[in-house]
């Protein structure tokens, strides 16, 4: 059975470092949007282009999981609904899924981001102190059920299914139910 690893955490938490380790340990395909966004568009978000890129990467991940190859999605996945949709999609293609959460203290986060911006500015994008504070407020910490791989909750009330929610979130995503 193929396995999907969902890297969850804020910038500077160590997600990409851990994702590289998992990809090596489990011979897995590692998909990291920042490695595509900056070379393609010169920035991390570029409007909804990031959502479109992430949808294409998720579609690639699902095809790869169907082939039996493990995948590491190094997206950050700040929202519970994003993680729930991806957990559901992994199961729908016969894969298991693990949420890998990397918490980070704010002082450590700021130091890591400053170091990255000073030593490898071509691999990152500008982040202000205000950005970091806002992102920390927005981030939804995974609960114990998510971390132990518990049952995926129902989609939000206005959505008939997780695939419908996911296609709205990532417009370029191709799911089996589409």
The per-residue pLDDT for 1 is 85
DSSP class of residue 113 equals H
Please state, in angstroms and rounded to a whole number, the distance separating the CA atoms of residues 105 and 63: 36
pTM (predicted TM-score): 0.93
The per-residue pLDDT for 177 is 44
The per-residue pLDDT for 46 is 67
Nearest to 160 by CA among 142, 145, 174, 178: 178
Q: What are phi and psi of 14, to 5 degrees?
A: 100, 20
Joined tokens for residue 149: 């791989």
The per-residue pLDDT for 45 is 64
Please state, in angstroms and rounded to a whole number, the distance separating the CA atoms of residues 127 and 12: 11
Domains of the chain, first to last: 3-169 (3.40.50.300)
Distance of CA 52 to the CA centre of its chain: 13
Beta strands in 33-134, from DSSP E residues, in sequence order: 71-76, 96-101
Say if CB 28 and CB 22 are below 8 A apart: yes
Scanning the structure block, which residue is given the tokens 């995926």?
152
> Does residue 26 sit in helix, strand or coil?
coil
Say if CB 38 and CB 131 are below 8 A apart: no
The per-residue pLDDT for 7 is 98
Residue 122: other Cβ atoms inside 10 A: 6
Nearest to 152 by CA among 82, 61, 63: 82
> Does residue 45 sit in helix, strand or coil?
coil
Task: From first to last of the 178 residues of the chain, give the pLDDT tens digit.
Answer: 899 999 999 999 999 999 999 999 999 999 999 889 878 887 766 678 889 999 999 999 999 999 999 999 999 999 999 999 999 999 999 999 999 999 999 999 999 999 998 998 877 778 899 999 999 999 999 999 999 999 999 999 999 999 999 999 999 998 764 3
């Amino acid at each position: 059975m193929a396995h999907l690893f969902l890297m969850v955490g804020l910038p500077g938490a160590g997600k990409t470092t851990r994702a590289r380790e998992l990809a090596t340990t489990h011979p897995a395909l590692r998909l990291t949007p920042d490695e595509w966004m900056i070379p393609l568009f010169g920035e991390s978000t570029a409007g909804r282009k990031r959502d479109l890129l992430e949808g294409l990467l998720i579609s690639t991940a699902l095809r790869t999981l169907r082939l039996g190859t493990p995948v590491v999605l190094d997206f950050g996945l700040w929202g519970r609904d994003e993680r729930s949709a991806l957990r559901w999609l992994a199961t729908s293609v016969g894969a298991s899924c693990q949420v890998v959460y990397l918490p980070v203290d704010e002082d450590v986060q700021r130091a890591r981001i400053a170091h990255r911006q000073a030593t490898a500015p071509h691999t990152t994008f500008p982040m202000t102190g205000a950005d970091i504070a806002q992102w920390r407020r927005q981030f939804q910490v995974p609960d114990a059920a998510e971390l132990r791989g518990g049952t995926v909750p129902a989609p939000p009330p206005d959505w008939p299914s997780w695939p419908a929610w996911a296609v709205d979130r990532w417009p370029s995503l191709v799911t089996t139910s589409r």
